[in-house]
């Protein structure tokens, strides 16, 4: 037996097979689903109020530290995307869609979704750490 396995076996494990008396019994719907062998599907209502971080990427740039130290107000950083190219939209750091910049209420920017991603897009543009 490997040393790693011995270490795992020596860790104390909690016994989850014992139900505490204070735990409520499952509802009739859950019991009927279990007895009929149907999978239990949680309602999406539980997720609709979960906050998600949306990030929109205009472009990226890499610069040596000496160039970064020379930046000042008014400096221009050249990005890797051309003018008119779609912006990349991430939700919780995962690629979600592409879009274009729009002006909202004459004072704020927004993003109009132009395409949702598919598996090929994710393989071509993986999330960077």
From first to last of the 129 residues of the chain, give the pLDDT tens digit: 444 444 555 555 555 555 555 545 555 555 555 556 666 667 777 888 889 999 999 999 999 999 999 999 999 999 998 888 999 999 998 889 999 999 998 889 899 999 998 877 677 766 553
Q: Bin 50: left if φ > 0, else alpha if -120 < ψ < 50, else beta.
A: beta
Measured over the CA atoms of residue 65, residue 78, residue 105 and residue 117, the dihedral's sign is: negative
Q: What is the pTM of this model?
A: 0.57
Fold of 48-129: Surface presentation of antigens (SPOA) (2.30.330)
């Amino acid at each position: 037996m490997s040393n790693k396995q011995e270490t795992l076996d020596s860790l104390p494990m909690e016994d989850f097979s014992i139900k505490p008396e204070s735990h409520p019994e499952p509802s009739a719907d859950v019991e009927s689903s279990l007895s009929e062998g149907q999978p239990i599907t949680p309602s999406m209502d539980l997720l609709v109020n979960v906050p998600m971080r949306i990030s929109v990427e205009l472009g990226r740039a890499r610069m040596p530290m000496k160039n970064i130290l020379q930046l000042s107000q008014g400096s221009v950083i050249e990005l890797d995307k051309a003018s008119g190219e779609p912006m990349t939209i991430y939700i919780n750091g995962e690629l979600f869609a592409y879009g274009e910049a729009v002006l909202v209420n004459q004072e704020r920017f927004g993003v109009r979704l132009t395409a949702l991603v598919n598996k090929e897009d994710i393989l071509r543009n993986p999330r960077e750490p």
